[in-house]
Amino acid sequence: MTTAAPPRQTPRFAALGRGLKVRELGILLALVLIVLAATVRNPSFLFSADGYRDLLLTPSILLLVAVGQAIVIITRNVDLSVGSTLGLTAYLTGRLFIDVPGIPVIVVFAAGILFGAVIGFVNGALVAYAGVPALVITLGTLYILRGLNVAWAGSDRINASDLPRDFRGLGTGQIATIPILTIIAVLVLIAAAFYLRNTRGGREFYAIGSDPNAARLYGLRVNRRIITAFVVGGALAGLAGVLYAARYGTVSSGAGTGWELQAVGAAVIGGVAISGGSGTLWGAAIGAFLLLTINRALPILGIEDFWQRAVVGVLIIGAIVLDRLLALRQSRKLLEARETE
């Protein structure tokens, strides 16, 4: 009795790996060029205490949301509710400190992460078992959560004076000149990227995004993985909401508005294919830094507000077109390889 050899897929995945590395390198190079151009125009953009700190600090919260969004997109879904989750969690954070005096900061973090995870579980379960596209489900929860936030907060807002000093210190403090928020974001990124790259569960996310039907035939627990992706995305949005309160101090009902689109944009610009199945969290993280650095750098370069938004739009469209071209090129190579066998 002989066992058939598995199909040779090593060249395919090797080529894919090289493509991803080149893609991430290109995004990183673009980020460096933008920083250099803005610094030449205004040296304080980088060579000042505030400039250096803001360069690292400002994208950190978006990085967390973009990493969660990337995991969901890799499974061929999207979560449009992360911005509302962030905003509602940020307001919840402030209310906990006001309504429960002396509550430990770690408990507030746990509550925010758990709250986001519950929202992610609801989204994931509806997508996995109801068979409704994630775009529709999460668009609905976006409006529901935003409505709850407006109804709860109303015209009130959380002020910095309502938050404990040690909690606010997380949003402004530094360790060895590196902002604490940036350290937290990078640690989360490293853990999540390691899981996706080096564990069976992480690789299954990619398999599901590449071909959900084939993944089911292969015996993968597709629904469970989809729910897990949404739970992780929601939990990271919840964590981002807690850190948002620490970073800005002031939280109103409008907190988090538009962040879902920025998260999608950061992931796509970073090389995560909107069709699922490819991309890395490192690319999404670089995309988050690139997106917000562009917003800071272009005014310094004298570019008007309209063109600032247009540049971001061009980057997103260009990333999607590039993904499509790379996919078509890879398909042709695979077809040629089969014909020559």
Considering the domain boundaries, does residue 221 fall inside one? Answer: yes
Whole-angstrom Cα Rg for the chain: 21
Considering the domain boundaries, does residue 292 fall inside one? Answer: yes
108: Cβ–Cβ under 8 A, 6 or more apart, which residues?
93, 96, 97, 167, 242
Considering the domain boundaries, does residue 148 fall inside one? Answer: yes
Looking at residue 276, its pLDDT comes to 86
Handedness of CA 207, 264, 108, 231 (dihedral sign): negative
Q: What is the mean pLDDT of the chain?
A: 87
Both tokens of 235, joined, read 């939990």
Looking at residue 327, its pLDDT comes to 67
CATH code of the domain containing 202: 1.10.3470
Considering the domain boundaries, does residue 291 fall inside one? Answer: yes
The answer to whether the beta carbons of residues 134 and 123 sit under 8 Å apart is yes
Considering the domain boundaries, does residue 5 fall inside one? Answer: no
Considering the domain boundaries, does residue 165 fall inside one? Answer: yes
Structurally, how many domains does the chain consist of? 1
Q: What is the DSSP string of 34-52?
A: HHHHHHHH-GGGTSSHHHH
Q: Nearest 5°: CA angle at 148, between 143 and 152?
A: 150
Q: Is 175 helix (H, G, I), strand (E, B) or coil?
A: strand
Considering the domain boundaries, does residue 8 fall inside one? Answer: no
User: pTM of the predicted model, to two decimals?
Assistant: 0.88
Q: What is the pLDDT of residues 143-191, one digit of tens each?
A: 999 999 999 988 888 999 999 999 999 988 899 889 999 999 999 999 9
Q: Is 324 helix (H, G, I), strand (E, B) or coil?
A: helix
**Which portions of the chain are predicted below pLDDT 50?**
1-20
Give the domain range for residue 272: 13-332
Looking at residue 61, its pLDDT comes to 95
Residue type, 150: V
Considering the domain boundaries, does residue 19 fall inside one? Answer: yes
